[in-house]
Amino acid sequence: MKYITKTVWILSLVSLFTDTASEMLYPIMPIYLKTIGFSIVLIGILEGVAEATAGLSKGYFGKLSDISGKRVPFVQIGYAFSAISKPMMAIFIFPLWIFFSRTIDRFGKGIRTGARDAILSDEATPQTKGKIFGFHRSMDTLGAVIGPSLALLYLFYFPQDYKTLFFIAFVPGLLAVLSSFFLKDKNTDKQSLKVKTPFFSFLKYWKLSSPEYRKVVIGLLIFTLFNSSDVFLLLQAKQAGLNDTMVIGVYIFYNLIYALFAFPLGILADKVGLKTIFIIGLALFAIVYFGMSMNTNLYFFFGLFFLYGIYASATEGISKAWISNITHKKDTATAIGTFTGLQSICTMIASSLTGFIWFWLGAKIAFLMTAFVTLIVMVYFMTIPKPITFKYEIK
């Protein structure tokens, strides 16, 4: 554990607090939105627009972080935006204000993501990227276990009192912001944040990046185009007959598996290869979506969410570790920001598309389509040669 530095611990705790706040609300979000008049199509559009906002800002602020040489200010401001968005969701219940509040939350994620992942990358070597990113994902996802558990406990005593949860979620969000002030930038160069940086300037990196980076990102984006928000998995569980408590319970179970396996799979990925573990994750994802296409019982849902947790452990942190290993250190935030930016735009399309397919053709077709495309993406990644780590000096 000597490779888990103080900075990695602080960032992991900040993510744990933030995810506790966010995931306290995530499983009840579709239920809450339906109670205030949102349709399944509108929920899909809301999630898509929110993710697109996060995506575009991830690329821009990642580029800005690289240009300025600063990381911590972006992390602090980003987590602050996400914290204040929580009570806003309860105060403003009209659709336009809900869109605004949700967008503020995702905008905060966009501000911090590239800089945060660059800090994690700087704390690792090419041989420990899987471990570092895996550990961070484990801590981050532990918050996704604590948050829904608190929500479940609260709703047990106060059924359907969803609004109060949004105010309670502000507390761990505030703890995350306070914890972020223990972070310090290692780069002492006084570079200006006033450098003129066009909002879409990060897209230029695509032309400057290595062929390997483009090949990997293209595969990831094709997969994302058909990988909609997890909200649809929860809605499927709900429509299959699970009550609100069971929906939250199965979501907690998924995140627990995710948290338990992310670090061990990160360690394994450093030994057998990031690409290998990622492809295994895609295979599990396809199995889950084939299973979700069937209206099944509670125990089968728990089995599917178990596999879904392992899938997330094998892909989320691994993909960023993979990208950081094939890009130059000075471009880490831009490379990850460009990828996550394009990824969020694809997620917007995916969530909106799934909402419409679900509405017109049913959930079964929506899930089957995603599963088949995932199999195609697996074959694509198998054709990519074994990744060659970018050679740069580790300071």
CA 372/CA 276 separation, integer angstroms? 20
CA 258/CA 262 separation, integer angstroms? 6
Is residue 218 packed enough to be buried (19+ CB in 10 Å), middle (13-18) or exposed (0-12)?
Answer: middle
Name the residue with higher pLDDT: 279 or 293: 279
CB 304 within 8 A of CB 242: no
Instruction: Tell me the chain's radius of gyration from C-alpha atoms.
Output: 20
For 194-250, write each residue's pLDDT tens digit: 556 666 666 677 777 778 888 888 999 999 888 877 777 877 777 777 777 777 778
pLDDT of residue 392: 40
The ranges assigned to domains in the chain are: 6-183+202-383
Instruction: Give 283's contacts (C-beta < 8 A, 6+ positions apart).
Output: 378
Architecture of domain 6-183+202-383 in this structure: Up-down Bundle (1.20)
Does the model's pTM come out above 0.85?
A: no
For 73-83, write each residue's pLDDT tens digit: 899 999 999 88
CB 141 within 8 A of CB 259: yes
pLDDT of residue 341: 75
